[in-house]
A and B are shown apart, each in its own frame.
Chain A
Amino acid sequence: MNARRLGCLSGTGLIAGTVTLVILGLGIWLGGGRWFSPGDLNARSGAPLGGVTSHAELAGNCSACHVPFWSADTMAGRCLSCHTDIQAQLQDPQSLHGGLGTQLAVSACRDCHTEHLGSDGVLTRVGADFPHEVTGFSLAAHQQNVETGQAFACQDCHLNGVQTFEGQVCADCHMRLDAGYLQQHIQTFGNACLECHDGVDRFMAFDHQQTRFPLQGAHQVLGCDACHLGMSTMAELVNTPTTCYACHAQDDAHQGQFGTDCAACHTPQGWKPASFDHNATNFPLTGGHLGVQCSACHVAGQYAGTPTTCYACHAQDDAHQGQFGTDCAACHTPQGWKPASFDHNATNFPLTGAHGTLPCVSCHASGTFAGLSTACASCHAEPTYHQGLFGLECAQCHTTNAWRPASFNGAHTFPMGHGGAQTCSSCHTTTLSTYTCYTCHDPAKTQKEHNKEGITDLSNCARCHPTGQEGDD
């Protein structure tokens, strides 16, 4: 023997290697792949699938489930080639495996299913992230065991493995929580809990739409106990009040001011938006009132008994500071404060003539409306033309249409309308206390004519001509 030769190439090494290979070859020839199995396959029998009734019958036939890594086939594909029912489920999102496919993006059966754990080993092993609702029973209401204070573990309910569930588990556990209630409940409805309950207290297979209270809107997502709290008999369930207020009295933001007929304004979709018909009240909303928030008038949630007078809300808006009283509607409309339609003719100073076209401030300067004098002189100062001859009773001569023409009816020694005169100023050109005839009569010609008679004072014509006639003396 060469001392430099590696041990594996020594005689004993070669013999041992050869014997090993022979024994291994014989073993594989006789037993197939059993030599490479990391553990026995599950021996639980079921319906024949793929020619076998249990995985254990596939022992030694590794390629029944395993594929070489270069193969286009997959282990999941091998599973589904036998488990055709699961293959069909995967096409149905409503099924257990179909639901898993959409929720977990499950790409391989072995994410949940195991093998080689012994002839009685578990075939399904799932973790806390398993979406239990796909089984038809949500764990939403089973997050924490109220008895232990710990999170629920699979085995708390699945006493014999996750693939099985004994319905009695529900009753056993819940009996410890409230025996009286559950006994009555089971007596009324039976002990097949899962036929009605899906883990979030939704009745399964129970069609609430067929009852006298079809579930609509937000009612559809509520847990049963939201309305049927504490009810454990059919009679209690059937006789559950159907009025809104029976359940929602405590939700009434209006504190009863609108009565108890919530549906008059609200729908099962939600409290908002609400559709209150204000026109059905004694204060229909028009104009600017349509665009304001409810709370603008109904302060502090006060609805019933809200005053309907304008001034009740708009007192602080009164630009007239109460001078026109509190009946805003006498002048204003709900469309807006402007334009306003004040009827001055209803006052003690109807607007006539030129007064009707003037802006209010022409008379009501400084925003003063009430208590103004109606005398002409309170607005119109006596003109110097009058020379104080007529007092302040303008209306004796003038109308509200215009200052002119005026209609003087007082004593006038000289005939008015002389020579076709139309206005006072025809003769009284500067003031009413003076006059001139030379507006019409040529002074030069008049002087020439009077010079013939030796008359030189031509300043007071009416003294010699009191009627305006040539023959007057």
Chain B
Amino acid sequence: MRRSGANELLLALLAVLLITIAYAAVVWWQGSLPAASDWLGHSLGAIGLFLMLMTETLYSLRKRSLSARWGRPATWLKFHIFTGIVGPYLAFLHTAWKFQGVAGAVLLLTGIVALSGFIGRYIYTAVPRTIEGAVMEEDELARQIEALEAELNAGLSGQPQNLWALAQWLGAKQSSSSEVGSVLGRAWNDWRETFIWWREKRRFNPALRPALNRLEGYIRRQQQLQRQRASLAAARRLLSLWHTIHVPLGVVLFLLAFVHVGAALYFATFLH
């Protein structure tokens, strides 16, 4: 999940980089920022809004369509993330650094909603899901944990005694944070565990490194499942809370965006 999530982020950042280069070239060529009301400025705004509309609608529709066969929800989520980054960035460039009135409010909300989207994505990934994107229940998590324990024991058979000791020591080294803390702080926990494993593995003979790596995979997956199992309820509550905040923000954002576009069309179309 982490690896697939990085792809759309990288693509989005690459798109942002290319757009920035093109925008900078235009600024250099014409000696000033493209005004929001000129051809390029309007184009940036229109494309940005279009991407934001896709962000807001397509993934939600796909999630709610039980019979739909066009793409897995996870793929639509990637597209949602991509357009959710590139669209607001185009809208930001469209402003030409003017943040006044409805247009300014729209941009401010765009930033807030985009940031909220990152937070939501972080909470969303705390909830364990099947490869199809369906939420795993607690009993499924328990079954996976047991299966991993069996694999771990089988993997350790025949290994030196000190590896058994390490596995038992690290397996018992669970974070003691609260359920909510476990959800919000899992990035920190991941980093901390990575550091601990790196430190401990250095103490062993390099010849044992492959066995240590396999051991790390089993134990860290097991710990992750255990944390998810322990914080499953909290993660669902946080996700629900996030929806409660994110959705109204999105509604306000698009209402104001439509009003802004309507006013621009009425008063400033072609500026004739």
Chain A interfacial positions (CB closer than 8 Å to B): 3-8, 10, 12-17, 20-21, 24, 33-40, 62-63, 66-69, 74-75, 108, 110, 116
Contact = CB atoms under 8 A, between A and B. Distances in A.
A6 B271 contact: no
| Tier of interface size on chain B | 35 or more
A75 B272 contact: yes
Interface of B: 36-37, 56-57, 60-61, 64, 66, 98, 100-103, 243-244, 246-252, 254-256, 259-260, 263-272
B100 A37 contact: yes
B264 to A, nearest CB: 8
Contact of B247 (A3, A12, A40, A74): A12
Contacts of A35: 101-102
B203 to A, nearest CB: 51
Nearest to A6: B60
A12 B56 CA distance: 16
A36 B60 contact: no
Contacts of A7: 60, 243, 246-247, 250-251
Contacts of A38: 36-37, 98, 100-101, 103
Given A7-B243, A10-B247, A110 B271 contact: yes
B249 A16 contact: yes
B272 A36 contact: no
Nearest to B244: A12
Contacts of A3: 64
Contact of B102 (A10, A36, A75, A116): A36
A203 B254 CA distance: 63
A15 B267 contact: no
A33 B263 CA distance: 9
B98 A39 contact: yes
B250 A21 contact: no
Contacts of B272: 67, 69, 74-75, 108
Contacts, number: 92
A417 B239 CA distance: 169
A16 B256 CA distance: 11
Given A8-B250, A12-B247, A69-B265, A17 B100 contact: no
Contact of B251 (A13, A40, A116): A13
A136 to B, nearest CB: 27
Residue with the greatest number of chain B CB neighbours at <10 A, chosen from A35, A39, A63, A66: A35
A75 B271 contact: yes
Nearest to B248: A16
- Name, among A17, A38, A69, the residue most crowded by chain B CB atoms within 10 Å (CB to CB): A38
Contacts of A108: 271-272
Residue with the greatest number of chain A CB neighbours at <10 A, chosen from B61, B64, B66, B251: B251
| Most A-side CB within 10 Å, residue of B244, B246, B252, B270 | B252
A12 B248 CA distance: 6
Nearest to B66: A4
A68 B248 CA distance: 32
Nearest to B252: A20
Most buried by A among B56, B243, B249, B267: B267
A258 B250 CA distance: 94
Contact of A15 (B64, B248, B264): B248
A24 B259 contact: yes
Given A12-B244, A20-B256, 19 more contacts: A3-B64, A5-B64, A16-B248, A17-B251, A17-B255, A24-B255, A24-B256, A33-B267, A36-B102, A36-B264, A36-B267, A62-B267, A66-B268, A67-B272, A69-B266, A69-B269, A74-B272, A75-B271, A108-B271
B102 A13 contact: no
A7 B66 CA distance: 17
A37 B37 CA distance: 12
Nearest to B98: A38
B103 A6 contact: no
Nearest to A40: B100
A436 B248 CA distance: 164
Nearest to A110: B271
Contact of A16 (B100, B252, B267, B268): B252
B105 to A, nearest CB: 8
B245 to A, nearest CB: 8
A21 B259 CA distance: 9
Contact of B255 (A21, A37, A74): A21
Nearest to B245: A12
21 contacts: A5-B64, A6-B57, A7-B246, A7-B250, A7-B251, A8-B254, A13-B247, A13-B250, A16-B251, A16-B252, A21-B255, A24-B255, A33-B263, A33-B267, A35-B101, A35-B102, A38-B98, A38-B103, A62-B263, A68-B269, A69-B265
